[in-house]
Structure 1
């Protein structure tokens, strides 16, 4: 999967969100509870895992993401990007100032070991 390279290099903190609904408007943050903050090596490991997600075909489920990550710079102001993952339809939707239109919708193999490892990290982060 492709992430915005400059944003990846600048990411100092990732928030993990357990999504509770879809946003009310395009580009708005996904609503839900922040269940974890990852910093340091956790950021590097998570972003490497996401970047190594193998591509896949689109599966139809209506896009019902369960998890998202928001990436922040050191200043912790606005997110560089947010990526919402639907493990049912194998779709990732990204938005934010660092995200080009070409990267905004991608598909990943949710059955791949890297996807299952990412899902396990998400689940372990939830209380």
Structure 2
């Protein structure tokens, strides 16, 4: 999967969000509860895992993401990018100031070991 390289390099904190609904309008954060913060090696490892997600074809489910990450640079003022994952339709939607249009919608193979490892990381954060 592609992530914006400069934004990945600038990321110092990842906020993990358990999504509760779809956003009311395009380009706004996915609503939900923040369940974890990853920094340092933990954030870098998660981003590497995401970048290594193998591509896939689109599956139909209507896009109902359960998890999202928000990446921040050192100022923590503005989200570099937010990525929402739907493990049913294998779709990722990404937005933010660092995201080129070509990366806003991607597909990943949710049945691979990499995707299952990412899902396990997400689930480990849930209370």
User: Shorter-chain TM-score: what band?
Assistant: over 0.9
CA distance in 2, matches of 1:97, 1:43: 19
Moved over 2 A (4+): none
Q: For residues 120 and 35 of structure 1, what CA distance do their matches in structure 2 show?
A: 14
Over the aligned positions, Cα root-mean-square deviation in angstroms equals 0.3
Equivalent residue, structure 2, for 1:80? 80
Distance 2:77 2:125 in 1: 23
In the superposition, the TM-score normalised over structure 1's length comes to 1.00
2: distance between equivalents of 1:104 and 1:45?
22
Task: Report the TM-score when normalising by structure 2.
Answer: 1.00
- Paired with 1:78 and 1:9, the residues of 2 have a C-alpha distance of 15
The alpha carbon displacement at 1:118 in A equals 0.1
* Structure 1 residue ranges without an equivalent (≥5): none
Other-structure match for 1:22: 22
Provide, for residues 13-65 of structure 1, a one-character-per-residue CA deviation record: whole Å limited to 9, x for no partner: 00000000000000000000000000000011000000000000000000000
Aligned to 2:123: 123
1:36 match? 36
* Corresponding residue of 1:52: 52
The equivalent residue for 1:92 is 92
Report the 3-state secondary structure (helix = DSSP H, G, I; strand = E; otherwise coil) of the residue aligned with 1:123: helix
- Aligned-partner SS, 2:60: coil
Structure 2: 5+ residue stretches without partners:
none
